[in-house]
Amino acid sequence: MTRITQFSSSHHAPAQTLPIVPLLAFAMTGFICIMTETIPAGLLPQIGVGLNVSISYAGQLISAYAAGSLIAAIPLTMLTRRWPRRHVILLTVLGFLIFNTLTALSDNYLLTLFVRFMAGASAGLAWSLLAGYARRLVVPALQGRAMAIAMVGTPIALSLGVPLGTWMGNLLGWRLTFGVMSVLSLLLMGWILLSVPNLPGQSEKSSLSVKKVLFMPGVRSVLAVVMVWMLAHNILYTYISPFVAQAGLTARVDLVLLTFGLAALIGIFITGRLVERFLRRTVLLSLGVFALTALAFAIASASPVVIFCGVAVWGLTFGGAATLLQTALADAAAEGADIALSLNVVIWNTAIALGGLVGGLILSQSGAQYFSWVVLMLALLGYLIASRATKNGFPKGHRQHGSAAV
């Protein structure tokens, strides 16, 4: 029995060609999610002055956003799983409109902290929805490519979010920068209304729970790979500045991150071409090459050439990770895809938080030179888990041919 299923809908038949305009609306949603999260990073001194708090307290606005995504993803997904899908995505974008506007207007630190938490909750719901929604717009043979387009806003925002937000903040001030995000959210709501088909939510007959989805064959294997892969990535990405300082690149961190972001975009394009026919092989190849890159970093972390080349390869392998892992997870969970993807949001954000914690401990206790060895071990662990999930999780064969069998 195939794990690839489509929800029935009397309003919309899955497209035989890629519906670019609605998929780009999803990409824009992801872009706003990441931009809203990362804008404070480059504007902490301004925000601190504006709210009359220290820079460290201003930094907690980022933590509050992450906490909102982590805590709210599953309950909000369960609450809205039977609602029409366009209603839900409009609700998430409306959340960004409201909460970014309140952030721009608030003079109270505690209120701003709460508003940022709620913005993060909107993001948590969006991330659990976007991939599954994109899949349902097209026939199974195009699902991977559809997800690749829908996710393209993420690496763009990750690579450009902080510098773009900092530039806007210096030009307009931090409050108007959040106001710009509100305007973008308003425009996006119109875009969604005009272009995105409204698909039904989960059937009333469905009794799927989080526990049932978690214990579906293959789901835990994919989530385990998400955890170790994203933990490895975030240890390195969070502490990229002290890591590249070993090669004397402290003043070129922006160029290093731009190299990573551009390579990640190429990785998304390549993944879109490979995900339907070679999902398993692409996951294993990405993890294997990431491990080899970490080994190169460990051996020659003082070489600027190795750092720049390695960062490019790392970005290339990471760019398609979201598409690959969410495709595998949604395939494994079938009709429980939205619930599984909400679990993915929790795991993903947990990995981000642990990346900061574990990386900080490594940096303070051992030094940046040990990042590469830890990343190497985690990448190899991810490769081992994925390689063993041959029947479920990362099955062999072409996914559009129903090879992901139970």
> In tens digits, what is the pLDDT along the chain, a chain of 406 residues?
333 333 334 457 788 889 999 999 999 999 999 899 888 877 888 899 999 988 878 888 888 898 898 898 889 988 998 899 999 999 999 999 999 999 999 999 999 999 999 999 999 999 888 988 998 999 988 887 888 888 888 877 876 776 788 788 889 999 999 999 999 999 999 999 999 999 988 766 666 788 888 899 999 999 999 999 999 998 888 788 889 989 998 888 878 888 888 898 899 889 888 888 899 999 999 999 999 999 999 999 999 999 999 999 999 999 889 889 988 998 898 888 888 888 988 898 888 878 878 888 888 888 889 999 999 999 999 999 999 998 888 998 776 544 333 2
Assess if residue 1 is contained within a domain.
no
Q: Domain range holding 124?
A: 20-195
Q: Quick check: helix, strand or coil at residue 26? A: helix
Distance of CA 145 to the CA centre of its chain: 16
In which element (H, E) is residue 51 found? helix 44-51
Asked if 30 contacts 96 with a C-beta cutoff of 8 angstroms, the reply is: no
d(CA 43, CA 59): 9
d(CA 152, CA 146): 10
Indicate if 188 and 273 belong to the same structural domain. no
Indicate if 155 and 303 belong to the same structural domain. no
Question: Tell me, what DSSP letter sits at residue 2?
Answer: B
pTM value?
0.80
Indicate if 154 and 226 belong to the same structural domain. no
Assess if residue 406 is contained within a domain.
no
The CATH number that applies at residue 230 is: 1.20.1250.20
Q: Quick check: helix, strand or coil at residue 346? A: helix
- Tokens standing for residue 256: 């290093």
Indicate if 26 and 173 belong to the same structural domain. yes
Indicate if 88 and 150 belong to the same structural domain. yes
Domain edge (last residue) among 148, 169, 195: 195
Domain count, the chain: 2
Indicate if 191 and 214 belong to the same structural domain. no
Indicate if 236 and 313 belong to the same structural domain. yes
> On the CB side of 4, how many CA atoms lie within 13 Å of its CA?
21
Asked if 27 contacts 151 with a C-beta cutoff of 8 angstroms, the reply is: yes
Asked if 399 contacts 391 with a C-beta cutoff of 8 angstroms, the reply is: no
Indicate if 331 and 245 belong to the same structural domain. yes
Indicate if 267 and 190 belong to the same structural domain. no
Indicate if 146 and 86 belong to the same structural domain. yes
d(CA 327, CA 222): 10
